[in-house]
Structure 1
Amino acid sequence: MERRALLATLGSAVTTAVAGCITIGGSPPTPDGMTVRSPAFDDGGTIPTAYTCDGVGRSPPFTFANLPEPTEAVALTCRYPNSLAQNFDHWLLWNVPPERGEIPAGLPATETLSALGGARQGLNGIGEVGYLPVCPPPTLGAEEYRFRLYALRRPLDLPGGANQERFEEALEGAVLSSIRYVGFYDRPDGTTGTARGR
């Protein structure tokens, strides 16, 4: 509970980075007004089982609004910061058309998403394309997962199936603003999970 209280306090903090304006937490907008929400769970709330290895393992939905000008593409990542590997990536998604205003749930594990305007997905932490369901060890309690939405000044010149290193290189100089949205998941002791995940 203390960790959640700390995160709630940090949720209103605003920092500035070289890549653009970054807000810690998803509820407050960035200084330019950009917001991100999930219809599935609140910022700082519990990620529903359907989006984890204990459920069907679908990718979660998000909506976004008030993107800064001149946003030409949107990207989204999901990272597990407490992994032994550090910053284990569960999802790399980019080149979502900004006019869509949403990322629907249950995206297929394909490099290119024609139904999402040709958006592309990269490799997650186990080397597979698409969303890797969250799946912390059941002995750790509620673990934090960090989603981040990026407003990009240009689409990333990056093929689907790229890894995290190439994704981050492509982001350099392309980010107008970004905002973080945090979810937690606590697995019951003795669970093994049926969907792939970590």
Structure 2
Amino acid sequence: MLEHIPAWLGRAMSGLRAGSDKLTIMQLGNAFETLDLTSPAFAHGARLPERFTADGAGVSPPLTWGMPPAGTATLVLIVEDADAPAPQPLVHAIVWDIAADAGRLAEGAIVADGSGDDHGDVGRNSYLREGWLPPDPPSGHGRHDYAFQLFAVGPGAGDAGE
């Protein structure tokens, strides 16, 4: 979609960004404990390797994390691009019902048919497709940072009527 615009237009839109204040994690305030989420494929703040973008294989990166807080029933992963030239961050992936003791998602695990195991259930990204939306920012728009956000959910959260 936006990746096909001319570079001159991307540069003209370089100041237009959703903003990190609109990331899901920022909307929740301090209502959660921090989980240590990392990837063996890239360092925090480093450029996302091409393999995980639309310019490469377009697979989701491997992710690992420590033990969630006591009482965690399940985990939810949301990946967003707050640098997208849009009113809200672009959602690259939503995965819920990840087993609390899973500790990791393997490379390529965020796919539409990945539900029903420790990898959880996969929701729709900003392009309204299930699975990983490989990053492909507009040419000339500048650096894009991707927020990989992991949330621990207690028992009963999300039950009908809540």
Is the pair's TM-score, using the shorter chain for normalization, greater than 0.5? Answer: yes
TM-score of the two chains, using structure 2 as the length reference:
0.72
Provide, for residues 10-34 of structure 1, a one-character-per-residue CA deviation record: whole Å limited to 9, x for no partner. xxxxxx925323xxxxxxxx3xxx3
Would the aligned equivalents of 1:94 and 1:156 in 2 still touch at CA under 8 Å? no
**Which of 17, 23, 30 matches 2:29?**
17
* Structure 1 position 125 matched with structure 2 position 126: yes
Shift of 1:155: 7.0
Whether the 8 Å CA contact 1:51–1:134 is kept in 2: the answer is: yes
Alpha-carbon spacing, 1:136–1:100, altered in 2? closer, same or farther (3 Å): same
Q: Compute the RMSD of aligned alpha carbons.
A: 2.4
The secondary structure found in structure 2 opposite 1:50 is helix
Is the CA contact (8 Å cut-off) linking 2:76 and 2:152 kept in structure 1?
yes
**Aligned counterpart, 2:96:** 94
- Quickly say closer, same or farther: Cα 1:99–1:70, change in 2 above 3 A: same
1:111 Cα deviation from its structure 2 partner? 5.5
In 2, are the aligned partners of 1:95 and 1:155 still within 8 Å (CA)? no
* Deviations, residues 136-183 of structure 1 (Å, cap 9, x unaligned): 11202221111101111137658xxxxxxxxxxx9xx8xxxxxxxxxx
Measured after TM superposition, the shift of residue 112 of structure 1 is 5.0
Higher RCO (CA < 8 A, seq sep 6+): 2
TM-score by length of 1: 0.60
Question: Could you tell me how far 1:61 is from its partner in structure 2?
Answer: 1.0
% identity of equivalent residues: 28
* Match in the other structure for 2:36: 35
SS in 2 for 1:66: coil
Residues in 2 aligned to 1:121 and 1:150: alpha-carbon distance in whole angstroms: 15
Instruction: Evaluate the alpha carbon distance shift between residue 155 and residue 82 of structure 1 in structure 2; reply closer, same or farther with a 3 A threshold.
Output: farther
Whole-angstrom distance in 2 between the partners of 1:66 and 1:78: 20
Report the Cα distance in structure 2 between the residues aligned to 1:47 and 1:35, rounded to whole angstroms: 18
Alignment gaps of 5+ in structure 2: 1-27
Question: In the aligned structure 2, how far is the partner of 1:146 from the partner of 1:67?
Answer: 19
Letter in 1 for 2:99: P
Q: Name the CA shift for 1:93/1:155 in 2 (closer, same or farther; >3 Å).
A: farther
- Opposite residue 135 of structure 2, the aligned amino acid is V
SS where residue 45 of structure 1 aligns? coil
